[in-house]
Structure 1
């Protein structure tokens, strides 16, 4: 995740406690149940899921139900993932591969651990986002990017000095799960693997349409 240096915070893996694996397995089965009606992405759209930045090429697309995301701030229901994760197919459709759970940005890590054990899954946040000033949108991109989730700017002071608008966090806590995988490490993968499991990164949309 070198491309996200300074813009990503991940929970550390904790020592496993008795029952952690079983608790995580319950979430995996709930994710499968939640995903089952949405193999056809048209059903997800009909049920209120919205594609996040559909016009920008991405390894995977987040179909998000924002009301479930708001509910997740105070209550964890593994049958209601905030987002469904789809990979675009050659024919222009979408194949369902996973789900994303969320929590509010200021949730303590013990709360995350209670939802999905931190000995099994690593939650993440996108941090230190500098919104580019007018006329500097091109500087979200490329090897010399200054702004956004690919940018060299990672502090409020540097952002303000460059005329930008600093946001210490984007969104809240997130964790991806791929319940159709058989290997536990791939179910809770945190590595980009070339198969559409681009697990933490919204780096394909570094400006987040913040015009």
Structure 2
């Protein structure tokens, strides 16, 4: 049955070329994963916070190497795109950012990320997500990017908002975590129509403002 609309992103736009490295402000860059990054992945997944929100762990460098091989293959098959977040000066892995559940036909993908414990609090995640979103929307031609996180993870909510992803909806009991089912906030950035990367819409986790002294 023929489609009445063309693919938003033509097939081959990604897989027929080498995965690029992307520059991130503040001395960071996104580069494709390498097999030699396996020890860094294992070290990152010893962090209880990463295990909590990503519901997995890496038990060996061999297992981490298999993940990396799948991440690299996803680019060639145009089913996903995964980058290591590294310091530009010494290539130290600071985290991961990715496009998952990618559909070129619909021009949609889900953004995912994690950062190492030592990289948190320095704006690494929002800068990396912003750079990835700009590349996906402006250079590749994706139309809609989603970012989902547990409602119990307000830090991830702040990353989404800083990267320009507006809070759109809440999926009830959408993902099973080690401590039970979690509701998930869904944030969305639309190409050409959504908030500009770097802006912050209303936070669904507003912090109380301090009262003025009497």
Q: Same fold (TM over 0.5)?
A: no
**TM band (smaller chain):** under 0.3
TM-score by length of 2: 0.25
Q: Looking at both structures, which has the greater relative contact order when contacts are Cα pairs under 8 Å and sequence separation is at least 6? A: 1
The answer to which structure has the higher strand fraction is: 2
